[in-house]
């Protein structure tokens, strides 16, 4: 029989052995007796904007350097299946060799509208001494022997020197899908953006109509429009609506929330402001000639604000300005809406939720939704209506309003002298104009 004192001693010994074993097993992998042979990297870099993550149901989109949150260096943006969230590890390509892995924090965005897939940020650290160029995620702490990794380039690495482009305003237009072919409104809107001082328009393209395709190609060749191909329908059944219970499908509006976030990060190191609005919306200053003078003044008044909320105002497309002044015959063969003909503005129904769109400083935003930011640094500010609002020509929202109940608003006409020749030039080059014009 063992004496009680002996039993106590053995127990203590056992605990000590366990603790020591625990510490040894948790030491950095470089102490492991059988290190995995470092792989030369990156052998295979993703060339797609959507990359399936091996051994999971998730999709990766982009990886960015982001050191704004303490304890992290990297933010990957992805579309994750909410029912299959699992532990993941960042795996790095350091200039030309692979490093050990680092733990991740997986942050699902709060806006999922009931859909199975949600925009997700994966945060992690870069290992010491690693000059990280590419990153991927693993489901284990080690790469599997022989498995091929698909690497994502790490973007927004600060390069010394100033070769980088600096822009004031980037418009992030989320997704183009279906056979949207609204050429005239598109051309007018893009030229309006240009007159207002926008430097770049980023558009995520799943699909579009044939004429709009031609127009977009021409804008993208010239460099004003940046097209990101967005073949989300190859990976899931994206919804055409905003709420799962009503529309079904795998993700909200063709992944709009993911593309808006991706666009903010894409623009973070190169654009002072980002405008988050749809392609049929124009964020319009009513007291300034352009966005630069608007934002210079707003920012001076509100130095700590990084998110400016702009109210959306609908100009119903079935009410036409009666004189027909801008009903130009040369545009009659161009598919789409002529925004200059629609000058009647609805007052929003203030009894119900009224959506805003936003001008943000990308460096002050962490996560965004469509009508509000979800996580941000600094403050936000609702811009007064007489200073700035959104001109949005579309089907009426308040269908019961009579013409007399609408406001006449000809703000767009203030730009017609330049706008019309600019639009003509683009349409002419592509052969859209009627000869009679």
Ligand X SMILES: *[C@@H]1O[C@H](CO)[C@@H](O)[C@H](O)[C@H]1NC(C)=O
- In the complex, minimum distance from the CB of residue 55 to ligand X, in angstroms, rounded to a whole number: 18
CB 90 within 8 A of CB 81: no
Please pick, from the candidates 48, 49, 67, 207, the single residue that binds ligand X as defined by CB under 6 A: 207
Nearest to 83 by CA among 124, 118, 109: 118
Min dist. Cβ of residue 36 to ligand X (A): 5
Please report, for residues 172, 275, 292, 335, 414, the alpha-carbon distance to residue 168 in angstroms, rounded to integers and kept in the order given. 13, 11, 8, 31, 23
160 vs 301, which CB is nearer to ligand X? 160
Binding of ligand X by 217 (CB under 6 A)? yes
Burial class (CB in 10 A: 0-12, 13-18, 19+), 310: buried
- 145 is a contact residue toward ligand X (CB under 6 A): yes
C-alpha–C-alpha distance, residues 263 and 171, integer Å? 9
| Choices 17-25, 55-63, 101-109, 204-212 (CB under 6 A): range interacting with ligand X | 204-212
Choices 202-210, 284-292, 369-377, 380-388 (CB under 6 A): range interacting with ligand X: 202-210
Residue 27, token pair as written in the block: 């030491």
Q: What is the CA radius of gyration of the chain?
A: 27
Q: Shortest approach of ligand X to residue 153 CB, angstroms?
A: 11
Pick the stretch among 35-43, 82-90, 192-200, 301-309 that binds ligand X (CB under 6 A): 35-43
Select 263 or 343, whichever has its Cβ closest to ligand X.
263
How many residues bind ligand X (CB under 6 A)? The answer is 16
Residue 120 CB neighbours (<10 A): 24
Distance CA 311, CA 347 (A): 11
55 binds ligand X (CB under 6 A): no
Query: Is residue 216 within the footprint of ligand X (CB under 6 A)?
Result: yes
By CB under 6 A, residue 144 contacts ligand X: no
**Which part of the chain contacts ligand X (CB under 6 A), choosing from 210-218, 244-252, 261-269, 326-334?**
210-218
CB of 181 to ligand X, least distance (A): 12
Which residue stretch of 19-27, 41-49, 206-214, 374-382 sits at the interface with ligand X (rule: CB under 6 A)?
Answer: 206-214
**37: contact with ligand X by CB under 6 A:** yes
* Residue 146 interacting with ligand X (CB under 6 A): yes
Contact with ligand X (CB under 6 A) among 44, 55, 131, 304: 131
Closest CA to 154 of 33, 69, 73, 257: 73
Q: How far is the CB of 128 from ligand X (least distance, A)?
A: 13
Burial of 416 (0-12, 13-18, 19+ CB in 10 A): middle
Contact 76, 62 (CB under 8 A): yes
Place of tokens 């290190």: 35
Cβ proximity of 364 and 306 under 8 Å: yes
| Interacting residues with ligand X (CB under 6 A) | 36-37, 40, 95-96, 131, 133, 145-146, 205, 207-208, 213, 216-217, 227
């Amino acid at each position: 029989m063992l004496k009680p004192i002996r039993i106590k001693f053995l127990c203590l010994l056992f605990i000590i052995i366990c603790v020591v074993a625990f510490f040894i097993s948790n030491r950095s992998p470089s102490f492991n007796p059988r290190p995995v042979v470092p792989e030369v990297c990156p052998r295979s870099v993703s060339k797609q904007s959507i990359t399936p993550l091996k051994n999971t149901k998730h999709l990766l989109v982009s990886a960015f350097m982001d050191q704004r949150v303490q304890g992290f260096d990297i933010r990957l943006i992805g579309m994750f299946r909410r029912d299959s969230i699992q532990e993941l590890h960042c795996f790095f390509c350091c200039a030309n060799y692979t490093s050990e892995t680092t733990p991740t924090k997986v942050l699902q965005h709060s806006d999922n509208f009931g859909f199975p897939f949600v925009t997700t940020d994966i945060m992690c650290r870069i290992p010491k001494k690693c000059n990280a160029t590419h990153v991927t995620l693993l489901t284990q702490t080690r790469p599997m022997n022989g498995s091929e990794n698909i690497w994502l380039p790490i973007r927004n690495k600060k390069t010394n020197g100033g070769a980088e482009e600096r822009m004031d305003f980037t418009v992030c237009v989320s997704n183009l899908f279906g056979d949207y072919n609204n050429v005239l409104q598109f051309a007018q809107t893009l030229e309006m953006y240009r007159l207002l001082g926008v430097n770049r328009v980023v558009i995520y393209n799943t699909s579009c109509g044939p004429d709009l395709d031609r127009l977009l190609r021409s804008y993208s060749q010239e460099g004003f429009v940046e097209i990101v191909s967005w073949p989300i329908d190859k990976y899931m059944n994206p919804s055409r609506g905003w709420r799962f219970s009503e529309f079904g499908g795998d993700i909200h509006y063709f992944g709009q929330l993911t593309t808006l976030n991706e666009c903010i990060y894409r623009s973070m190191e190169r654009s002072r402001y980002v405008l988050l609005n749809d392609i049929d919306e124009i964020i319009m200053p009513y007291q300034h000639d352009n966005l630069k003078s608007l934002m210079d003044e707003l920012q001076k008044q509100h130095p700590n604000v990084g998110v400016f909320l702009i109210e959306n105002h609908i100009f119903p497309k079935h009410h036409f300005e009666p004189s027909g002044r801008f009903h130009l015959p040369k545009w009659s063969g161009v598919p789409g809406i002529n925004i200059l003909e629609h000058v009647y503005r609805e007052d929003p129904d203030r009894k119900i939720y009224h959506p805003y769109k936003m001008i943000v400083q990308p460096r002050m935003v962490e996560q965004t939704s469509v009508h509000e930011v979800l996580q941000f640094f600094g403050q936000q500010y609702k811009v007064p209506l007489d200073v700035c609002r959104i001109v949005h020509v579309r089907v009426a929202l308040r269908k019961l309003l009579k013409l007399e109940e609408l406001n006449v608003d000809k703000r767009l006409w203030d730009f017609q002298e330049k706008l019309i020749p600019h639009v003509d030039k683009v349409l002419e080059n592509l052969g859209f104009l009627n000869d009679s014009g």
